[in-house]
Amino acid sequence: MSTSKILTAVLSATLFVALPATSAIAGGKKESKQCGGAPCEGEIDIELQILKACELLVGKDIKLVEDSYTGASSFQVTTNTPYTLNLSTMNAGTSADTFVKHETTTDKVATKITTSKGGVNYPIGSTPVAGMSVDNFTVSVAPKSAISGTQRAGTYKDTLYIKVAY
């Protein structure tokens, strides 16, 4: 072997030994391991983070028509975490004493709003829900008592607000 090849091999070996053991990834270094001829071991942690997500699909508006003055709709909540279902109305807030209000006067008609899922009722206000599924809710609305023949003519309105919080 020529002198220059031997010198190159010795210098390469010297440089290799003289360098400290460091991580190959800048800024992501966990720790330095020097083995000294023994087996070296290390680990890289793996983490997956799935963010909380919610999808709310709201059904059609409810029209209380003269033949029965009752109506129904639905909404669907898809979440990947437990949540709180917050129901309120424009006219009554979180009170269960809901009503529709005449659009130009102070006349009111008391209503009952029933929100349910799988045979369980969810009242106006806040209710915890297990979530982590596709939850299909039905909403039905009816007057609390019969509409009298002297009830002021006109359009009466309210709005059901649906909020999902976690």
Note the pLDDT tens digit of each residue in 15-52.
344 444 444 455 566 676 677 778 888 899 999 999 99
State phi, psi for 102 to the nearest 5 degrees: -60, 140
DSSP H or E run through 160: strand 160-165
pLDDT mean across residues, the chain: 86
DSSP string, 74-123: EEEEEESS-EEEEEEETTTBT-S--EEEESSSS-EEEEEEEEEETTEE--
The overall pTM is greater than 0.85 = no
Residue 26 is predicted with a pLDDT of 53
Contact assessment for residue 107 and residue 156, using Cβ atoms and an 8 Å cutoff: yes
CA distance 79 to 130: 10
Residue 27 is predicted with a pLDDT of 58
Domains of the chain: 54-165 (2.60.40.2040)
- Summarised one tens digit per residue, pLDDT across range 149-166 is 999 999 999 999 999 999
- Residue written as token pair 């001829």: 37
Q: What burial class does residue 111 get, using C-beta atoms within 10 Å of its C-beta: 0-12 exposed, 13-18 middle, 19+ buried?
A: buried
CA distance 80 to 153: 46
CA distance 32 to 75: 56
